[in-house]
């Protein structure tokens, strides 16, 4: 049995066949799972986001017809909101029907080459390799590559692909990366690639780890603005949180403001420490005033949700 056959056999026996996006050939549902899973664990996507999103938006056409606010609301808590904005943009651009060619898919906002290949391989069984973070690690170890070079990895992925059954091959590679060839303590004894794997004696060397810089902490202040029992919020314009509602943030603490507590949130590049402050003499322009009930229906970023929870739980 060669390595491709071994991977196929391993998948038949050990693959996660029950994942809902593996039980459909609906390109939209596969696309949605790929986008949600880009920065979020399978467990979280499965338990909290995938099914409610599909219930609200059963087709890509329904995403295209909805206002962005509604899409963001269903994405609330999942983070990395650019994914939701790109999904909405893509739904409108392709009028609710995804193209079937990987080159066309890859030209849509938020769909990279690997995601385009995943959609085509999983929905239409096209013979295309995928290259997500787990697969990259497996290939680096299998071919003993100490540097994660995209071009080299794509070449290896193409050569390694089992063209007879690309669906199973790609799903298997993802599962092997997730459960067998894990970043720490890979289980080479249970791995279908082990017989010919060049990196199995020193898997930690492939690829060589790049030391991550410690994320800096930013300290800012969130203005709690009140009017007639309602809270004043703005709709964010900055790139990462665009379209989400939240509290006005400032770098300097206004002189007479008093503290209502702190919340923290860790983003990919920094940790935000946000002190909630209140000063009734402050006059700050906001985009709207909302009751607690009205805020429930708005899409808020996680840190703004934390503020709301802190404010209302201390009432």
Q: Does 135 bind ligand SF4 (CB under 6 A)?
A: no
34 is catalytic: yes
Q: How far is the CB of 33 from ligand SF4 (least distance, A)?
A: 24
CB nearer to ligand SF4: pick between 129 and 203: 203
Q: Does 200 bind ligand SF4 (CB under 6 A)?
A: yes
For 230, what's the count of Cα atoms within 13 Å in the CB-facing half-sphere? Answer: 14
Could you say which of 79, 102, 186, 207 contacts ligand SF4 (CB under 6 A)?
A: 186
Q: How far is the CB of 199 from ligand SF4 (least distance, A)?
A: 5
Could you say which of 79, 129, 199, 246 contacts ligand SF4 (CB under 6 A)?
A: 199
Contact 172, 8 (CB under 8 A): yes
Distance CA 264, CA 284 (A): 23
Q: Does 165 bind ligand SF4 (CB under 6 A)?
A: no
Contact 230, 291 (CB under 8 A): yes
Number of Cβ atoms within 10 Å of the Cβ of 102: 20
Q: Does 191 bind ligand SF4 (CB under 6 A)?
A: yes
> What are the distances in angstroms from CA 260 to CA 94, 220, 275, 285?
47, 13, 7, 21
Could you say which of 29, 117, 141, 169 contacts ligand SF4 (CB under 6 A)?
A: 141
Contact pattern for ligand SF4 over residues 201 through 240, marking x by CB under 6 A = --x-------------------------------------
Q: Does 102 bind ligand SF4 (CB under 6 A)?
A: no
Contact 177, 135 (CB under 8 A): yes
Contact 9, 192 (CB under 8 A): yes
- The angle formed by the CA atoms of residues 47, 49 and 52, to the nearest 5 degrees, is 100
CB nearer to ligand SF4: pick between 39 and 202: 202
Q: Does 173 bind ligand SF4 (CB under 6 A)?
A: no
CB nearer to ligand SF4: pick between 159 and 226: 159
Q: Does 4 bind ligand SF4 (CB under 6 A)?
A: no
Q: Which stretch binds ligand SF4 (CB under 6 A): 198-206, 209-217, 222-230, 306-314?
A: 198-206
**Helical segments of 79-165, H only:** 82-93, 102-106, 113-124, 133-142, 150-160
Pairing of strands 271-278, 217-223: parallel
**Which run of H or E residues covers position 311?**
helix 302-313
Closest CA to 263 of 219, 315, 298: 219
Query: Active-site residue among 5, 34, 190, 228?
Result: 34
Q: How far is the CB of 163 from ligand SF4 (least distance, A)?
A: 20
Catalytic residues: 34
| Positions in the binding site for ligand SF4 (CB under 6 A) | 138, 141-142, 180-181, 186, 188, 191, 193-194, 197, 199-200, 203
């Amino acid at each position: 049995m060669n390595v491709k056959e071994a991977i196929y056999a391993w998948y038949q026996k050990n693959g996660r066949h029950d994942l809902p996006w593996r039980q459909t050939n609906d390109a939209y549902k596969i696309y949605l799972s790929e986008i949600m899973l880009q920065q979020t664990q399978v467990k979280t996507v499965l338990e909290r986001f995938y099914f409610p999103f599909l219930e609200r938006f059963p087709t890509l056409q329904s995403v295209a017809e909805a206002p962005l606010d509604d899409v963001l609301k269903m994405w609330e808590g999942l983070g990395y909101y650019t994914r939701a904005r790109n999904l909405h943009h893509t739904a409108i651009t392709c009028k609710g029907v995804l193209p079937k060619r990987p080159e066309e898919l890859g030209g849509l906002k938020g769909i990279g080459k690997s995601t385009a290949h995943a959609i085509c391989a999983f929905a239409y069984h096209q013979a295309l390799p995928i290259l997500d973070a787990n697969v990259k690690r497996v290939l680096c170890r299998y071919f003993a590559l100490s540097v994660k070079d995209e071009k080299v990895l794509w070449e290896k992925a193409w050569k390694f692909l089992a063209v007879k059954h690309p669906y199973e091959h790609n799903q298997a590679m993802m599962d092997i990366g997730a459960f067998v060839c894990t970043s720490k303590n890979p289980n080479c004894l249970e791995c279908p690639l082990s017989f010919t794997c060049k990196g199995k004696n020193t898997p930690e060397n492939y690829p060589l780890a790049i030391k991550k810089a410690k994320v800096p902490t930013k300290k800012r202040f969130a203005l709690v603005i009140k009017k007639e029992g309602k809270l004043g919020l703005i709709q964010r314009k900055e790139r990462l949180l665009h379209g989400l509602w939240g509290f006005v943030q400032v770098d300097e603490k206004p002189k007479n403001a008093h503290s209502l507590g702190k919340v923290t949130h860790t983003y990919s590049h920094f940790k935000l420490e946000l002190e909630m402050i209140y000063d009734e003499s402050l006059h700050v322009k906001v985009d709207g005033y909302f009751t607690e009930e009205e805020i429930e229906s708005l899409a808020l970023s996680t840190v703004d949700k934390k503020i709301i929870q802190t404010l209302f739980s201390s009432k």
